[in-house]
Structure 1
Amino acid sequence: MDTMTETNATATRDDATANDTAGGGRIRVAVVDDHEMFRAGVIATLRTEFDIVGQGADVDGSIAMIARTKPDVVLLDVHVPGGAGGGGTEILLRSKGLSPGSVFLALSVSDSPQDVGAVIRAGARGYVTKTITGADLISSVKQVHEGYAVFSPKLAGFVLSVFQGGGAEGLATGERPVHDEELDRLSNREQEVMRLIARGYTYKEVAAELFISIKTVETHMSAVLRKLQLSNRTELTRWAADRRLV
């Protein structure tokens, strides 16, 4: 996100009066990141589409800001100083009761399984890395606000393992996937294709991610829709989102 980091730091500070814009219909966003220049660049990019209602650079200050402004979406770095040392995950957990209507999208330089797993289990709606473009970040904020889960493509394999209960990190809290008769109709490969398609991948991108041909993706997708008695990608995305599979 080089264009963001080079943007002149014109972002405003936390503004309690930002709530006055809530009636305008625009998504209200708060940005949490301890790097001032990067935070300013992100805000400058997002403010063309959203109302920026607050920003934070540490755990306690960010929690207070979220409680006061009650944003629709919180863009959250994973590694934020202060508090009890839990960083972005601590902010998310402590803010749930203070602003229950807020959804969280992690934006971090880290792509480690530990960081991704921790913030997902804490309740983040998505996780994208700081290599994301400005346009894709705007799109990601809109998608999580609409109820969809959003993840950077390179994180897809690990995210799938978390939701499937696989891997040491995914099992760290003893979580297991809930039994679902409809989901059980799908083979493991069909479930992988289903999750990626529901997350917005094209057939070409799914083929590259799973190292299979586009024709094979099409075959699996047809089987998924038939077994789930769905008509198209939009219905599949809603079906998966309702079950928190993406």
Structure 2
Amino acid sequence: MYNVLIADDHAVVRSGLAYLINQQADFKVVDEEANGTDTYLRVEQGGINILIMDLSMPPGESGLVTTKRIHEHFPDIRILILSMHEEQAYINKAIHNGAMSYILKSSPDTELLTGLKTIAHKHFYIDQNILITKSDLRQINSDGVDTDIKGYNGLSEREKEVFPLVALGYSNKEIAAQLFISTKTVEAHKANIMRKLSLKSRAELVRYAIHHKLIDV
């Protein structure tokens, strides 16, 4: 039995996906989340084999960033991106960051189920409505895709969890409650983030986050 986590900011989408997937043999939806931060925290708890995730779940961390973080620390989890974004840049970036499948929300259910069953056997699957060219493959396999956010990549995992919450205007108390840490720890992480990224104010942090597509607003 494959345990599936669904991440999408629309409750009706999550419900529809859960109903469809639970009808399939060997697949069971065990949890749902509505944003990137909570998705990563749920993955940390364990018990997930497959993640079906949207890329845009505002307000919060970009799904592209969540994909990368999960793949780096939980490589055994198979990630299927289900997105309205048909732009090749999103598709290439998602695969580069660790997604095993990319399905368009405009495609029929059969595409999603094919992708789900394919990655269950640890094989890649791209929606048949998506064309991957040789140029796309070079971008996907490039080691230089993330050079423009070198500073962000230097943050610790906890700092990366705090980062989008700070950018979105959460208070220290709210961040502490969501991440189950103390407010003093939050303050320390915020100071480290500002120092590592050479930022002087929250306004600069917000501009940095939006410019590098690290959050959805």
TM-score (normalizing by structure 2): 0.59
* SS at 2:130 equivalent: helix
The answer to whether 1:173 aligns with 2:173 is: no
Distance 1:69 1:144 in 2: 19
In the TM superposition, what is the alpha-carbon distance from 1:69 to its structure 2 partner? 3.5
Contact 2:92 2:136 in 1 (8 A): yes
The answer to whether 1:37 aligns with 2:12 is: yes
Structure-to-structure mapping, 1:59-98, within 5 angstroms: 59-83=36-60, 85=61, 87-98=62-73
* SS at 1:74 equivalent: strand
Q: State the structure with bigger RCO (CA 8 A, min sep 6), 1 or 2.
A: 2
The answer to whether 1:114 aligns with 2:117 is: no
Q: Give unmatched runs, 5+ long, in structure 2.
A: 147-217
| Residue 184 of structure 1: aligned partner | none
Whichever structure has more strand as a proportion of its residues is 2
Instruction: Tell me which of 139, 143, 161 is aligned to 2:135.
Output: 161
In the TM superposition, what is the alpha-carbon distance from 1:145 to its structure 2 partner? 1.5
In the TM superposition, what is the alpha-carbon distance from 1:114 to its structure 2 partner? 1.8
Distance 1:139 1:155 in 2: 14
* SS at 2:17 equivalent: helix
In the TM superposition, what is the alpha-carbon distance from 1:54 to its structure 2 partner? 1.4
The answer to whether 1:138 aligns with 2:122 is: no
* SS at 1:116 equivalent: helix
In the TM superposition, what is the alpha-carbon distance from 1:98 to its structure 2 partner? 4.5
Distance 2:105 2:135 in 1: 22
In the TM superposition, what is the alpha-carbon distance from 1:56 to its structure 2 partner? 0.9
In the TM superposition, what is the alpha-carbon distance from 1:81 to its structure 2 partner? 2.4
In the TM superposition, what is the alpha-carbon distance from 1:174 to its structure 2 partner? 5.7
In the TM superposition, what is the alpha-carbon distance from 1:67 to its structure 2 partner? 1.4
| Residues matched between the structures, number | 144
* SS at 1:155 equivalent: coil
Contact 1:70 1:101 in 2 (8 A): no
The percentage of aligned residue pairs carrying the same residue is: 18
* SS at 1:128 equivalent: strand
Superposition RMSD in Å: 2.4
Letter in structure 1 aligned against 2:136: V
Q: 1:82 and 1:27, CA in 2 relative to 1: closer, same or farther beyond 3 A?
A: same
* SS at 2:136 equivalent: helix
Letter in structure 2 aligned against 1:73: I
Q: Give unmatched runs, 5+ long, in structure 1.
A: 1-25, 176-246
In the TM superposition, what is the alpha-carbon distance from 1:94 to its structure 2 partner? 1.9
Higher radius of gyration, 1 or 2: 1
* SS at 1:44 equivalent: helix
Superposition misfits of 4+ residues, deviation over 4 angstroms? 169-172
Contact 1:117 1:170 in 2 (8 A): no
